[in-house]
Structure 1
Amino acid sequence: MEAYETLTEGINALRKQGYTEDFNLKHNCITCGKDDYEILHNEFQVDKSFPFDVNEDPSDQAVLYAISSEDHQRKGILVNSYGIYSDPIADEMLNKLK
């Protein structure tokens, strides 16, 4: 199983594996950073996830997701904080990212 020491190392490794899009998390979908293209929760899958807990500061806690969508022919990454700093999202999105 893959493991990375830093978030940057994880991002660079996933880029080399073809995860080239930068996804952003919205309430009920993810969007592609380049063109704000929307992908709904039932149109993508989480291929891999990597939690990062850099230190005891909650603001440094994040999860790196490798995401693909066969429907939209896109692969990319999503970085999201977790814990008290996580983004408010719909239940469908929350379940998908677990």
Structure 2
Amino acid sequence: MDRQMYHYATVSKALEELAQKGFTTDFNLEEDRIVNHCEDFTIEHIYRYEGETDPGDEATVYGIQSKDGEKGVFVASHGAYTEKSAAMMLHEMSIKGRNDE
């Protein structure tokens, strides 16, 4: 997996950069699609943000691509990682991807 990690000052900047790379679908609006078909997606980019004073400000921005070539983003906040959430599925995929390298 040729995934890249970048660090930008803000989530907005990461989303802007991903949009310029063709990641235009907002997969937050299609969370069930990721949960029900996570095997159809690959993580291409990961941007992580940690709150300087408040852990509630933590976020991860995923640049993901579907098997059919659709590129988009998923933004996971600190509280989004429930057992069957898209955020948890993507987090597990990112860990697996690191172990496969």
TM class by shorter-chain length? Answer: 0.7 to 0.9
CA distance in 2, matches of 1:55, 1:29: 32
**Aligned structure 1 segments of 4 or more residues deviating by more than 4 angstroms:** none
72, 77, 89: which one aligns with 1:76: 72
TM normalised by structure 1 equals 0.73
1:95 aligns with 2:92: yes
Unaligned 5+ runs, structure 1: 31-37
Higher helix share: 2
Matches within 5 A, 1:51-62: 51-62=48-59
Number of residue equivalences: 87
- Report the structure, 1 or 2, having the larger strand content: 1
Deviation at 1:69, TM superposition (A): 0.9
Deviations 1:46-96 (A, max 9, x none): 11111101322122100000000123x3100000013xx133133982422
Q: Distance in 2 between matches of 1:2 and 1:97?
A: 14
RMSD after superposition = 2.5
Amino acid corresponding to residue 69 of structure 1 in structure 2: S
Q: Percent identity?
A: 28
